[in-house]
């Protein structure tokens, strides 16, 4: 049983390392694609600003009532 536990203990970090590396490479590619065009970068900034305003409004309207 101890070798199985050791194997499982090694598999989890290995899977996490692979999946996190893939996610980081995809994020780098997406960032490079957005950075090539100032218009795309501005659209992302504007969209994230609108999302923050929407989330703040939703929080203010649906907050605790006590």
**pLDDT tens readout for residues 32-64:** 998 899 999 899 999 999 999 999 999 999 977
- To the nearest whole number, what is the mean pLDDT of the chain? 92
Assign residue 27 a region (left: φ > 0; alpha: ψ between -120 and 50; beta: otherwise): alpha
Q: Are residues 29 and 56 in the same domain?
A: no
Q: Are residues 43 and 61 in the same domain?
A: yes
> Bigger pLDDT: 34 or 22?
22
Q: What is the pLDDT of residue 66?
A: 63
Q: Are residues 31 and 18 in the same domain?
A: yes
Structural domains of the chain, count:
2
Q: Are residues 12 and 28 in the same domain?
A: yes
Domain limits for position 66: 38-66
Task: Report how far residue 21's alpha carbon sits from residue 58's, in angstroms, rounded to the nearest whole number.
Answer: 34
Q: Are residues 4 and 29 in the same domain?
A: yes
Tell me if the pTM is above 0.75: no
Q: Are residues 6 and 25 in the same domain?
A: yes
């Amino acid at each position: 049983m101890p070798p199985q536990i050791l194997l499982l203990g090694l598999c989890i970090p290995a899977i996490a390392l692979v999946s996190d590396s893939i996610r980081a490479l995809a994020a780098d590619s997406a960032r490079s694609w957005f950075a090539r065009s100032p218009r795309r970068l501005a659209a992302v900034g504007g969209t994230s600003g609108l999302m923050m305003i929407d989330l703040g409004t939703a929080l203010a309207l649906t907050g605790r009532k006590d």
